[in-house]
Structure 1
């Protein structure tokens, strides 16, 4: 499905007059997004309504605290906006409580730790080398410095989570919490089994649903809320909202989660972003978003099959989600080289770790191109363009032109110099 966009952007005209230097940067970025293929699994295109909320007067308001209990005056209307966002998030995900203030997915995860853990507590999470996130115990992150993380892994042959290994590690380590989530796992996670393992060892279950949250909202992925003590998520990616995070939980942990977000880990809420989240939650509750979410998955499966047919190794043999992880080694290149060649051809994506410590692969996603209106036919074409660019054969200029023409046929913001 295609996002509907309204023509005209008065904000662009104001910025051109007042700050032409920065206006040129924004216009150049729109040109980049409009002439290349956005295959980054963590990115999407928001609607003009979301962007309008981001650029609204709510950006001026300081609002530390929560609705009805702010540390600043003049918060009557932003209180309404936040309550709308909270109510829509709760309804969308079937959660008892929602905190929509986290500035990012990482901030949401940090708040979950602050609510449930104490420094030094043992925690189980997916090993970073197997697709765990920075917040899942990296020594470069506060999580790895404050808590004693042990990483579980995926089976080196299938690429699927080794649930037997998770249970064995949980029994051995007796963690205070188990973190369930990944930045490059293309299959649905077994939340019920993670819950069973957590209960067996007396651990809290934290689900980091940064990637699948949008699919959950659209009914295209299982909902972790009934199984987790706390669910952390981003509001961008497939959910197609502004860059930000949220935390979902039950009544038992509501106050602890709220205090963990503010005042423990954050200051004033970004009210313009919270309003934009409310808009996105409202859009995700519409029937059209359900159609979109399922099309995202259908597109990912076609793209994965196309890449396998071109000779790449598709991790786990396919995908259940918007995300695809592949090893380009059969085409004679490593992940970083492949990414560079793809960038030169106008296809934007990321690297990801490969099982068995075999270097880096490629991580792709179909959320953004699906928002632009592309379907299975375009995914088959993208697979061919991508494989050709990775091989580095033929006319690179011709491939870049083919990418440009495909992108031009599905502009993200038609009729706008840039949205806002």
Structure 2
């Protein structure tokens, strides 16, 4: 290469570096196995949202009751928690690729049953509740294996970037999926949403099939039992770094997730604004903010103070929720929720990186199983707590007060465990 050409390459690299530092870091996509796993996530993130819309819509159409919609949501919680814990133990004792193939195939076949019962107009609430419970059980087994596999597919220094890529895709699915479902139901009918999700999972199966084998690093595959699950909890109890990372998510979601109050706020807090329009904006704001945070996540790969970033992100989430609770303008409320979404993205990425990097591979699946339990259970508990607080304090005060508690509790936890503040991720 000539001297001139070398200078041009160096200049191009120098120009690209700031852009890569600011915008999303896509280096993990250079690794073919990770790229295959990520591509399967793109398809399933969109398809799963079709089912997430179809199930409550079908139940409401059958019953005319939001109570049954809530019951369906709770019907999936216990199976999700139980099988996330068991699935995490299994993911540490078998080939994770095979586990992904099994659970993805199971969900795809189950979606065909969803489609059949809707297409045949069986209108059986008990059948739907059973299908939801089985679906959430399979999902609970799938997630630990999927997330625990990432650290085997990319270098440790690229884990923050991989976490940002995964989270951004999931947030994009949460935005585009419901919009697509709303557009398709009048055109194709509700049953076809289940079929499209099944087809998406079938396409994703090919990408998972082409992953390398991911057997346990500490020995031959074996059957997981209760002892393995208990070993995971004992491991978690002796690793304060992992405990604080989990507790940070509990603090943010239980105390500061006000989604249960969105309908009331949309109805009463923004005079002159159509209630349905306001409600749609409130539900979309956090995912949109998180998506923007992911697209501008290039700096994540250059930050090593992962513990400090989690603390700052959770406190920023709390501050944004306070602002949301005190907002009397729908647009100001949306801005604060969008900022909360950005903070949530930062927290998700660095908490996920800590779980991937600080846990050993033989425990990584179990830690992800506990994490799945926390992520699933926290917002549901928040729904209950915020609902109870409203009659006492009012909706706006309940939201703002929860945000203040997030900041206070997260600060107290960080001061109580200074090692978490000092924790640094792997060097580049």
TM over 0.5: no
What TM-score results when the alignment is normalised by the length of structure 2?
Answer: 0.31
Q: TM-score, normalised by structure 1?
A: 0.31
